[in-house]
Every structure is written in C-alpha cells, then in structure tokens.
Amino acid sequence: HGFWYYEAERSFRAILAHDPNCAMAYWGLSQANYENEKRAKAFIQKAVELLKKVCLNITEHEKASLDAEIAYHDDKKEKDITKRRKNFLRAYEDLILAYPDDIEAKALLVCRRWQFMRKGIPITTYIGLDAILGEVFAKNPNHPAHHYAIHLWDDRKHEQALDSAAKLGNAAPGIAHMWHMPGHIYSKAKRYHDAVWQQQASARIDHAHMQDWFLLPDQIHNYAHNNEWLSRNFSHLGKVRASIDMAKSLLTNPRHPTLNTPEKKKASARYGRMRLIQFLEKSELWQEALETANSPWLEKLPKPEDDLSRLRLIGVAQYHHKQKAELQQTIGTIDTHLTQAQADQDQAKQKAREKAAKEKKNEKDTKAAEKKAHDQHQKKIKTFENNLTELRGYLAAMDGDLKAALTAMAKRPSNINRAPYELAFGDKSKAAETAKKQIEKNNKEAIPLAKSIYVLHQINKDAPLIKTGFDELRSFSSEIEIKSPVFARLAPIAKQFGYPDDWRQPHTPAKDLLARPKLDSLGPLHWTPPAAPSFTLPDQHNKTISLNQYHGKPLILVFYLGAGCLHCTEQLTAMADRYPDFKKEGLPILAISTDDVSDLKKSQTNYKKGNIPFPIISDFKKDIFKKYTAHDDFENEPLHGTFLIDEKGRILWSDISADPFMEIDFLIKESKRLLSLHQ
C-alpha cells in the first residue's frame, strides 16, 4: 500500500522461504511488481503452476484474488491491455460483492482504479471511489489506504484528503513515502509549515534506512522528488539558508551512472543544481552566487545547454555587483555557445539534405527531413537567445538605456519576480501593477510577497495594500530568516506600521493534525554517510589486514567472488591497470575475496602483468560480505561490491550488484568530488 515495492517483494520472498508452496505469496510478488509487467507476469505464472501441481490449502476467497491477477496478466486470451484492465476492475468488484468484509480488496480496487486512470481509463466517479475507501476506514480508521485517498483527490479537490493527510504517516510509519504524500495535500492547501514537516519526516526516514542498508539516496524511488520539493517549501516559508542547504544536500549525494547524474531527470544532482541556482538568485545572495557558481557545488557541465543556467546566474550576479566588464565576458561566452549551436543546426540540415538525396527522396520528404533536423536544435538555440537578450538588457541598464532593459525583461523567466527590476528600470507603473498582482495572489510564498511589499513601499503607492500584504506575510512568518537581504529591507516598513523589530509571529498549529513523532527521532535531515563496518582479515601471506590500518586516508574497497569469477578478474585487471591513476588521487585499493587464503594467489596469477599492486584478503566465510550487504540473503550468494570509504571511516559511495562496477573513470572522478564535499 505504500508503493515500497522493493521491501514488499522482500517480505513475500520471506514467506516463500518458509513455505515454497504458498501461492498467495506469488500473488503478493505480482502485486509488488505492478510497475514491472514482465516480472509480475512471471511471478503470477509461478502461482498458476502451483495451482496445477500441488494440493494447496487455499480458500475460494484467495482463489478469486488469484484468478483476477492471473487473468490480468494473460495476454494470450486477451491481447487488448485496456480490456484486461477493465476486466480486472470488474473481477475485483465481483470479489467485493462475494466477500463484502474484504477491505484489502476494496483498497486495492481504488488503487488500481486510480492507476488505470493514468493508463487512459478515465475515472467516472471520484465520490464513488471515496465511498469505498470510507468503508475501509469504517473498519480500520488507520488503514494505509489513506495513501489512495490522497492520490485520488490530489489533482481534483485536495480538501477532500485533509483527513487522510493527517492520518497516513502513522498508518505506516516506517515508510518514507507515506510521510511524503500528505505533503502533496498540504502544499496544495498552501499550508507550507505542515508540508515541510511531512517532507522532513520522509527525508529523515529515508536517510535512516540508507544508513542501515548502505543504500545510495537515488536508489529509493521518489527520494529526490521529496527533497527538492522540501527545498522549495523551505523557500516558501522564508527559510533561506534551509532551502539552500537542502539543495546542496542533494548535490552532495553520491552519484551513479545509472541512478544520479546532472543530466538525468528527477535525479538528486539535477534537482540540487536547479534549486541551488534558483534560490541563490531568488534570495538575492549575489556574492554567494558568484562564489558558488565557480566552485565544486556548481561545476561546469560539458554540454553548454546544460551549463547555461549557471552562466546566467553568474551574469545576473555580475549585474547586481556592477561588474560590467565581467558581464560582457559572460555574454560573450554564451554568444559563442549560440554560434556553435547555430552551426550545429546548419550542419544537421545539410546532412539531412545529403541523406535525402542519397536515398532519392522527393522534395517534400527532403524538406520534412530538413525541418526535423532544424527543430531538434531550435529549442536549444531559442534558450541561448532568450538568455542573451535578458543579460544584454542588464548591460543596457548599466549603460543607462532603461528602455532596452525593460524590453529585455519580457524574456525573464516567469517564476522570478519582475517588479524589483521594473522599478529599477524606471517603470513605476508596471512595477506597481506586478507587485499588486503578487500580493493579491495570496499564495503564502514569503520571498515574492516580501519583494512586492518593498516595491510598493518604494513607489509610495497603495498604503492599505502594503499593510494588507505585510499582515499576510506576518501570518506565516515564524520561520522567516529576518536578516536575509529580502526580509532585512522590510525593517523600516515594519517600524512605520508600529511592528516590533522582530515582526515575525509564532506559528499556530492547525487543529486537524494528529500527534506526530519528534523529527529528530526519525533520522538525520540530510544524507549522512554510514560508518563502514570494521574487519580484520588475512591476505595471501596470512598477514592480517584491518580497516583500521586505513584510518586517516580514503580507500576503495572491492568485494569480488573469487579467482574463478571471470567478471571479477576483468574488474581487478582494470583496476590494477589504472592503479597509478588511483594512487595519484590518493585512493588506495583493497580487495576482499570469497576465496580462502590458499586460493588468493590464483587472483594474482590471473593478472598477466605481474603482481596485482594492491592487497587481496580472504573473507571465506562471507561474514564481511554480509556486513556490507554485498550478499543476497534469499539466494545465499555473495554479490559484487565496490565502496569508497573516506578518511573518517564512512561509506561515501557504493555499488552492489550481480555484476562488478567497471566504470573506472567515473569511480575516480566521483571519489574525488565526494571527498572534497564531505570533509
């Protein structure tokens, strides 16, 4: 019910380890793989085989549940997936009619109905589905189906799910996602204090779980989504430093080629970079922006289009610092990228023409191919052009051409408040109009509201509206960082209205909330590297080597499956060949094998260039493999593992898999990055 499919599968696998003939465990494994059709189908087929071959103690009720799942995955009898989905819903309705006390079937019916809506089958009655959930909660008020109530009403009428938002976390307190989902509802309701609390709880539970199981943050579904949303909600409350710290936290998370890179959508690295740039600008921390944009926090990305947001931040900060020559240089850099993008577009069009001619295409098809090549580059070109227009507008303002600056402002991103710039560029009327609209939105976002109050006060226009805006700001001001630039300049206005120097007001909790645990009891707010388990093991010479010997320096720790594993030999060979590169970066290597001591020398023999230049030690009993979770407990087999351990004995990075990690360049680069950020 919490969509924690990985742990759900582990639970049903534990049942099968106890009772291999439990058909309903395969039903559960199929449910736990709803988003993996091929895997779900394979599991339900196991249940089919059991039903044929084994005399099972299974009830008609359980059989009906199995039959619905079996039919859903039977694409031979019915190839049309939409029809199968509709038949599945009808089967669950029949199940509920036959067994009206089955609240699990009712909960799953609502869940699948919502999920199938996202697959093209519109929901015709939200109230009807809500009524079914009402029957579930009548029998079990704390049922985790509150999760489905939130999803059901999230994009329709969020107020309907406020009761479920208050109850869901306590319904399944060990699942981070169940604390996160109420944040959807509270954000829609603009109750950002409550949204922040929920998302903090989710982050902390995730981080505690990662510490226990040596998981990378982006291995957990929705982790990055929760924490970037948390950073936004911190910003809405005026918690400037907290929003920036959370963005930086996402950037300090370990990266992985398949999980987390700056180019990968919905990954920590991409979200963290996006939000850090946004909040530095939004909070007008111009000196910090310049320093951060030229630091490991915001490294230069290989593709100019990916690096553009960093360059734009530099340009905006240079304008605010009156660094005209530097701004001209930044504009020149972006202009060079634009010229290259235009050349790439021309080249792509030329290649499309040549290919069409070679294939003897007609004129219509040739033009279509050219247009496709043109369109593939046009979005990138337009983005470069818009950013150049904006930055040249700031340059024009520095030269006193305010009309050109105002014209350029039309290209400014819509999520940034324009009013202060319109005021600076001399259009008081437009600035007042923009500020007024922002106040009237009443969206309870502290920074845009504070900017609008300041702009109207500078223009000396509409004092009642300024007072209304300030009173609104004070109503949710408990977390505002009052000395931050955007809020510090409100001090004279507060004095004019007779407010105290600290004009913030305490937060009054809503009356519809239930008891909540203390946040600190759930885990750390930011990802925290776990301590590496200690060990003392013999090498091929029966000399003991311990982890403590490496204290004070980083270490690459490799778990491999003995000299008989060809993939392991490939990894050790690759690392031995590149050992000078590891050594240059101060990264010693230690390999732990499943071989006993007498067989360790075979790994050395497998290396054709002499002796492997790093120690190899034996964990024949696989005790250390298990401590580092490089072990499949169900198959009772060791797994390949590669770890980066820092000088303090903490695990900064890991890869645990059925295959050894072979991307040596990535490992060296990421190790260097993480060690610099986690000092």
**Residues 52, 598: Cα–Cα separation, whole Å:** 49
Tokens matching residue 444: 């309870």
**Closest of 35, 32, 36, 34 to residue 13, by C-alpha:** 32
**Residues 92, 98: Cα–Cα separation, whole Å:** 10
**Residues 662, 654: Cα–Cα separation, whole Å:** 13
Q: Is 568 a catalytic residue?
A: yes
Q: Which residues contact 128 (CB under 8 A, 6 or more apart)?
A: none
509, with CB counted inside 10 A (0-12, 13-18, 19+), is exposed
Question: Count of H helices and E strands in the chain?
Answer: 30, 9
Task: Measure CA 637 to chain center.
Answer: 31
Task: Measure CA 357 to chain center.
Answer: 46
Q: Phi then psi for 453, rounded to 5 degrees?
A: -60, -45
Count the neighbouring beta carbons within 10 Å of the beta carbon of residue 332: 11
Q: Which residues contact 124 (CB under 8 A, 6 or more apart)?
A: none
**Residues 347, 336: Cα–Cα separation, whole Å:** 17
Q: Is the Cβ–Cβ distance between 506 and 478 less than 8 Å?
A: yes
Phi-psi region of 636 (alpha: psi -120 to 50; beta: other; left: phi over 0): left
**Residues 385, 327: Cα–Cα separation, whole Å:** 16
**Residues 358, 367: Cα–Cα separation, whole Å:** 14
Q: Phi then psi for 324, rounded to 5 degrees?
A: -65, -50
Q: Which residues contact 324 (CB under 8 A, 6 or more apart)?
A: 318, 395, 398
- The conformation of residue 534, written as its DSSP 8-state character, comes to P
104, with CB counted inside 10 A (0-12, 13-18, 19+), is middle
The residues annotated with a catalytic role in the active site are 568
